[in-house]
Structure 1
């Protein structure tokens, strides 16, 4: 009887592991396909052979400029920003045990947005300064949320409520800046606020790429502890997890990559919100869904950008498409949580 129970547990673990590997492999394959399509499609459709030769350094008239200066930076920005939003949003949702506890809802991306709009509309600074300001503001927003939500014990509800309040305040500030700003500066600020891959440049990407390569592995390595935190504060402590240090490491890692992604592409709506739940549905329970969430985020951004660019007569920024996808899910989630008495 004991051996039978052990075999059942082992079989269940192996089955979940196979499912995780299968889902991750399929998401990776889809991502590679979308990256290829991003490089091929445009005003002119280039054969994959010419694109590959151009990427390897061969100069082909017309193809070289379009691929290396327009399509490749756009694809890389969508790839790394989508992965950053996906894994960062999943980290907050899992750690705080609430699907509403994502960077969009609790104000982190709004803090970055407020700083960027201020630099664009009021200070008229360079893109580099805008990026630095948005990263610093994202970190400062997290610090304010932490300070204002402090109590005798860690409270998920308090953090979410304080975050929503700070987000509302920052949105009001953004509206005021747009109201008093000069007319010629408003379009640039609105394009940034919408979230867009338009105009992505290679020199903007190194900081985002480095941040993802440094901080995403930290989140992945702490995936087991993150899953334990999902059980609750007391359960995590009883299982030997240093909750304070683990939480600080996860928050800082997630905030850095989200803030840098926001600095490059703007706050692409709902990617951080959708990626974790979708990955969890696909992967199931038992294994960390940090990597699948990142892959879902990257797939969402690239697929939405392709839809926005080629599915309609007018070209739309990627943030509009992800907003159209994410808004119904948010309404559904709120209705479901209200019925369960979680709101």
Structure 2
């Protein structure tokens, strides 16, 4: 498939340029994510054919199917889609802002910061599930703020942002280890399960806050995609093109931190999705720039497929999805490093 750009004229007379390959990739990824979701809803101790799942979603299933699909499995799948999309979009933002393919929330320490907030609520306060989620959200936001402040020096630049993030990540990881050593056996077991990253037991209480946040942040991020694309050419060029660099960078960093922290609060620290989704999306689209819609759809598809693999291979509750994404993401990272080394880029 060749990359082609076509000028499309809107009803208001505005002409926009459409990358046909990138648009096709986004459409295919969206279809793949939705198809995998239907298959995942039908997977479990009581399997349901895909055709019956679709009929049930449109209100034509029997009472048993209605309960299994709408109350038990649909919320879990929706959380998976929203978490994957949030991580994919947040990872694309961080990698674009830092101009570094390793500048993802996993490397910068945002996941560790959210984990610290959750562990604080579990170990020190024996908090409920909602309190743990709130602690994870606050921990991620505080960590993101600390990284931004420490990396600031007449602006925030990618190389310094990554180095500061790695340092903060090491500190917060040590804090998490200390909290685990101070916990009793019950809280420690609960904390370890949460730190693995899982979609088990997710219900509508996790869907609505994440959906509301995405409904606000995704349009906000996409509306600033042009400024982000200009910033990848350097601050001086961006200023010359009329982009308010620091304002756009701060706005998008806040959005990326909120997306990552809210996803971690909903499902725990699901590793490597934020790192791999933007890079896979860029390889498929072969388009310059941050590829935000493709990264969003790729993250959603990756997490749903990983959850399906965890259930098909090991049963619904034997292998959390965070383990699958960790294995697949680690293998991809090793492959990427070997490829870059053979190409002489590292």
Q: TM-score, length-normalised on structure 1? A: 0.90
Tell me, yes or no, if the aligned pair for 1:16 and 1:287 is still in contact at 8 Å: no
Q: Distance in 2 between matches of 1:18 and 1:149?
A: 38
The answer on 1:139 being equivalent to 2:141 is: yes
Give 1:70 shift: 1.9
- Which of 179, 191, 194 lines up with 2:193 in the alignment? 191
1:50-94 CA deviation, whole Å, 9 max, x = no partner?
434443456734323322222111100100000000011001101
Instruction: Give the ranges of 4+ consecutive aligned residues of structure 1 lying more than 4 Å apart after TM superposition.
Output: 56-59, 334-343
Give 1:312 shift: 3.5
Secondary structure of 2:105's counterpart equals coil
Which residue of 2 is the match for residue 299 of structure 1? 301
**Alignment size in residue pairs:** 333
1:175-213 CA deviation, whole Å, 9 max, x = no partner?
111122110122221121111101101112211111111
- Which of 82, 85, 93 lines up with 2:84 in the alignment? 82
Which residue of 2 is the match for residue 113 of structure 1? 115
Which residue of 1 is the match for residue 10 of structure 2? none
Tell me, yes or no, if the aligned pair for 2:93 and 2:290 is still in contact at 8 Å: no
Q: Distance in 2 between matches of 1:143 and 1:69?
A: 37
Which residue of 1 is the match for residue 151 of structure 2? 149
The answer on 1:315 being equivalent to 2:318 is: yes
Higher mean C-alpha deviation, range 312-321 or range 23-32: 312-321
Q: Distance in 1 between matches of 2:62 and 2:71?
A: 13
* Structure 1: unaligned runs, 5 residues or longer: 1-10
Secondary structure of 2:153's counterpart equals coil
Which residue of 2 is the match for residue 73 of structure 1? 75
Alignment of 1:82-231 (within 5 A): 82-231=84-233
Give 1:49 shift: 4.7
Alignment of 1:56-67 (within 5 A): 56-57=58-59, 60-67=62-69
Give 1:154 shift: 3.2
Secondary structure of 2:201's counterpart equals coil
Higher mean C-alpha deviation, range 233-242 or range 289-298: 233-242
Q: Distance in 2 between matches of 1:192 and 1:69?
A: 22
- The two structures, once aligned, show a CA RMSD in angstroms of 2.2
The answer on 1:244 being equivalent to 2:246 is: yes
* Structure 2: unaligned runs, 5 residues or longer: 7-16
Tell me, yes or no, if the aligned pair for 1:88 and 1:254 is still in contact at 8 Å: yes
- Which of 250, 260, 263 lines up with 1:261 in the alignment? 263
